[in-house]
């Protein structure tokens, strides 16, 4: 409080006292006790009122002790159970959080992790994936500015995500791994990786690549084979030594029959091998008798062409050829879909053929598109002629329902460049994406589809879509989301099948460690998406008679069900609409593969490196009790005394107003009771 404020308070007290004495003692010319009480009440009322006008600020200091954080992070994956370390993990956790000296020194935060980091609710050690990379990234966001040593109770084996060694380098906290396992090296053969396409074409040979790894001291020989049922379709002798401990096999298998075929790769175990689960792996290939050929027609080179080709060809059922307009018209019957990239007057023969043969097309416009020419071609669209260009960002139309689209965070994507002006449609259309200019959202079309006379068309009003693919990778560390978006658009355009009232989106084969998600859309009789229907899926395992039913949950413009709890097997299913007699069926296979069971040892070497790089220390389960003294004796983790200064204006104190009201009320009551008013 300043000296000036203090002077004002003193003056206010004197002034309030003089006014009270003047009214009740001097003016009344009486020394009775009643007048003295009234003078006192008036003094209090006036003084408090004047204080409110002055409004001095009151400072309040509070001192508290801030403990350092202690993050205890427990691996909740099934590999912990497989290594028989789940009981050790629970005992170590309980020993840390129940130690009174640890509790007194640290603020304890408990987490568990598998594919995601979560506060500990309960530990069941059943997570099917392990992502240590995400653990360090998320902890770094929360505890970046605080002292937070981290105890990591894990075997160090990671199944998904980037290498956690590098994310741990960016985590600026000491890390104390407690290694669940030992450093004993057991002899072990395993199929490290098996690469095969999901699809093959009838009467072709499809390639397979297998990486085999050996861990051990002695030279060994065994047999690698591939079986279909009890029949061996491929076999090869392989040998390993301590120095030459890996082999890469490349071979081909024939695709002689249409349908889904399941194979089993087996690496025969050696004597006394402890873990034989990782010696075999199932894989499946769907043999099809046709391929979707897409023509990508352009008159000039552009990065968009390569990005579109890569996105479309991530599905092995599709093949893209980049052609000039002249090259396309020499072989138009070879393609089920043509993509017109920024067409101009050189596309005359291409456009004539598309209209004559009723071919499905996808037009991508940009700054080099000749709208003067296109507007004269009697297409289903026209565009205002304008020499100006504009950058357009995208907004997803959540009401689009011709096929399932998930939001890829389109608003985070870089803008596409195109001509300024409005697009005019001469046929019914459905918008997939709208334009956003700067911060202004519009309902002008950026991407739309049209259906006319059993011909499907799409138009995208912007170039530089290659930047979208790059941004999608930055957002999710994968091109998959963007490639799936383009793939679904191409699948819709390349198909001439009659539309069904129930459409399904699912995989024929699911890896045993992946999520089994089935999506569906339901349309009313006018083929408009109906979000009020109740859909049910009935799943029947082919090897058994019993079946199970599950409801599908509405999610945006589609329904979804998660069947990840199903065991590895082959299944038939039917999706039904409960209010009408409409259904659609399908089948899928879940492969028997648990990646968490592929580990024989803890990755103690990497965990020791992580501890050393972070100025922490590693421990095994046999000496894990030493970590308590390590944490208690470390002088980096001392409590910090902090002070908080709160400055509160007097006008915010409600009790001062209450004093004024009470004093004036008592004063009025006394005067009224004594007949003074």
What integer pLDDT is reported at residue 557 of this predicted model?
Answer: 79
What letters, b where the CB count within 10 A reaches 16 and e where it falls short, cover 475-484? eeeebebbbb
CATH class of segment(s) 188-288: mainly beta
pLDDT, residue 199, reads 79
If the chain, 677 residues long, is cut into consecutive pieces of 10 residues, what is the mean pLDDT of each piece?
Answer: 77 83 72 80 85 77 82 90 87 92 92 91 85 92 90 89 90 93 76 84 86 88 90 92 90 87 89 81 82 90 93 87 91 89 91 88 91 87 83 86 79 89 86 88 89 86 92 88 89 76 84 82 76 90 86 88 86 89 87 68 87 92 89 88 74 77 85 76
In the CATH scheme, what architecture does the domain 68-184+603-638 have?
3-Layer(aba) Sandwich (3.40)
Place of tokens 């990497």: 606
**In 289-372, beta strands by DSSP E:** 292-298, 318-323, 337-341, 361-365
**By C-alpha distance, which of 556, 244, 513 is closest to 396?**
556
- Residue 390 structure tokens: 């504009």
* Dist CA 12 CA 521 (whole Å): 76
Residues 6 or more apart whose Cβ sits within 8 Å of residue 36:
24, 25
What pLDDT does residue 152 have? Answer: 95
> Contacts by 399-403 with C-beta closer than 8 Å and gap 24+?
399/529, 399/557, 400/430, 400/431, 400/432, 400/557, 401/521, 401/523, 401/528, 401/529, 401/557, 401/558, 402/430, 402/449, 402/492, 403/488, 403/489, 403/491, 403/492, 403/503, 403/505, 403/521
Sign of the C-alpha dihedral computed for residues 240, 246, 252 and 253 taken in this order: positive
What are residue 670's phi and psi, to 5 degrees? -65, -45
| Cβ atoms of 35 and 90 closer than 8 Å | no
* Topology (CATH) of 293-494: Rossmann fold (3.40.50)
Three-state SS at 673: helix
Residues 6+ apart with CB under 8 A from 600: 186, 188, 215, 274, 275, 278
Q: Does this chain's domain 68-184+603-638 share its CATH topology with 188-288? A: no
Class of domain 502-595: mainly beta
Q: How far apart, in Å, do the first and last CA atoms of the chain sit?
A: 41
The full set of domain ranges for the chain reads 3-60+648-673, 68-184+603-638, 188-288, 293-494, 502-595
Rounded to two decimals, the pTM is: 0.59
- DSSP labels, 34-68: HHHHHHHHHHHHHHHHHHHHH-PEEEEEEEEEEPP
Cα→Cα distances 137→118, 131, 140, 169, 172, Å: 13, 10, 5, 10, 11
Given this model, what pLDDT does residue 527 score?
A: 66
Contact 440, 422 (CB under 8 A): no
């Amino acid at each position: 409080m300043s000296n000036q404020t203090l002077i004002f308070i003193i003056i206010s007290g004197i002034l309030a006292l003089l006014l009270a004495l003047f009214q009740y003692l001097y003016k009344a010319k009486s020394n009775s006790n009643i007048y003295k009480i009234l003078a006192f009440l008036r003094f209090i009322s006036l003084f408090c009122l004047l204080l409110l006008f002055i409004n001095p600020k009151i400072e309040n200091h509070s001192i508290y002790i801030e403990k350092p954080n202690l993050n205890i992070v427990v691996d909740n994956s099934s590999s912990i159970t497989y290594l028989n370390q789940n009981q050790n993990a629970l005992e170590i956790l309980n020993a840390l959080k129940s130690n009174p000296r640890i509790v007194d020194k640290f603020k304890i935060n408990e987490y568990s992790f598998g594919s995601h980091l979560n506060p500990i609710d309960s530990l069941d050690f059943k997570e099917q994936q392990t992502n240590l990379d995400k653990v360090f990234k998320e902890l770094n966001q929360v505890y970046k500015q605080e002292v937070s040593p981290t105890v990591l109770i894990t075997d160090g084996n990671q199944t998904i995500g980037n290498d956690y060694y590098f994310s741990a380098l960016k985590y600026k906290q000491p890390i104390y791994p407690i290694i669940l396992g030992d450093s004993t090296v057991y002899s072990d053969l395993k199929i490290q990786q098996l690469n095969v396409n999901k699809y093959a074409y009838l009467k072709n040979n499809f390639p397979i690549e297998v990486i085999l790894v050996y861990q051990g001291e002695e030279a060994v020989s065994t047999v690698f084979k591939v079986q279909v049922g009890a029949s061996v379709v491929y076999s090869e002798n392989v040998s390993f030594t301590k120095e030459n401990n890996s082999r890469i096999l490349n071979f081909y298998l024939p695709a002689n029959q249409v349908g889904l075929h399941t194979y089993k790769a087996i690496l025969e175990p050696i004597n006394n091998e402890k873990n034989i689960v990782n010696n075999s792996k199932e894989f499946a290939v769907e043999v099809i008798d046709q391929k979707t050929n897409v023509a990508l027609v352009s008159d000039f080179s552009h990065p968009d062409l390569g990005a579109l080709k890569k996105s479309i060809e991530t599905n092995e059922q599709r093949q893209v050829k980049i052609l000039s307009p002249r090259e396309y018209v020499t072989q138009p019957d070879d393609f089920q879909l043509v993509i017109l990239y920024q067409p101009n007057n050189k596309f005359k023969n291409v456009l004539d053929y598309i209209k004559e043969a009723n071919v499905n097309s996808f037009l991508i416009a940009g700054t080099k598109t000749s709208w003067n020419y296109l507007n004269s071609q009697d297409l289903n669209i026209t565009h205002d002629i304008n020499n100006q260009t504009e950058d357009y960002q995208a907004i997803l139309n959540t009401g689009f329902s011709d096929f399932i689209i998930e939001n890829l965070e389109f608003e985070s994507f870089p803008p596409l460049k195109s001509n300024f002006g409005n697009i005019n449609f001469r046929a019914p259309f459905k918008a997939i994406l709208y334009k956003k200019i700067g911060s202004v959202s519009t309902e002008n079309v950026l991407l739309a589809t049209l259906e006319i006379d059993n011909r499907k068309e799409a138009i995208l009003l912007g170039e530089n879509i290659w930047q979208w693919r790059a941004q999608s990778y930055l957002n999710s560390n994968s091109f998959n989301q963007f490639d799936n978006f383009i793939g679904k658009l191409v699948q819709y355009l390349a198909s001439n099948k009659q539309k069904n009232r129930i459409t399904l989106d699912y995989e024929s084969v699911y890896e045993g460690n992946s999520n089994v998600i089935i999506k569906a859309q339901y349309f009313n009789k006018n083929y408009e998406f109906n979000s009020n229907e109740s859909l049910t899926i009935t799943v029947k395992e082919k090897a058994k008679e019993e079946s199970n039913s599950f409801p599908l949950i509405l999610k945006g413009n589609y329904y979804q069900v998660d069947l990840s709890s199903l065991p590895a097997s082959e299944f038939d299913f039917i999706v039904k609409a409960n209010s009408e007699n409409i259904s659609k069926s399908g089948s899928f296979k879940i492969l028997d593969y648990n990646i968490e069971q592929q580990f024989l040892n803890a990755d103690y070497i990497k965990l020791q490196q992580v501890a050393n790089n972070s100025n922490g220390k590693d421990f095994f389960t046999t000496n894990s009790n030493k970590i308590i003294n390590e944490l208690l004796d470390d002088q980096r983790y001392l409590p910090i005394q902090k002070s908080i200064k709160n400055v509160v204006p007097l006008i915010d104190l409600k009790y001062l107003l209450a004093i004024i009201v009470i004093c004036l009320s008592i004063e009025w009551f006394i005067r009224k009771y004594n007949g003074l008013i």
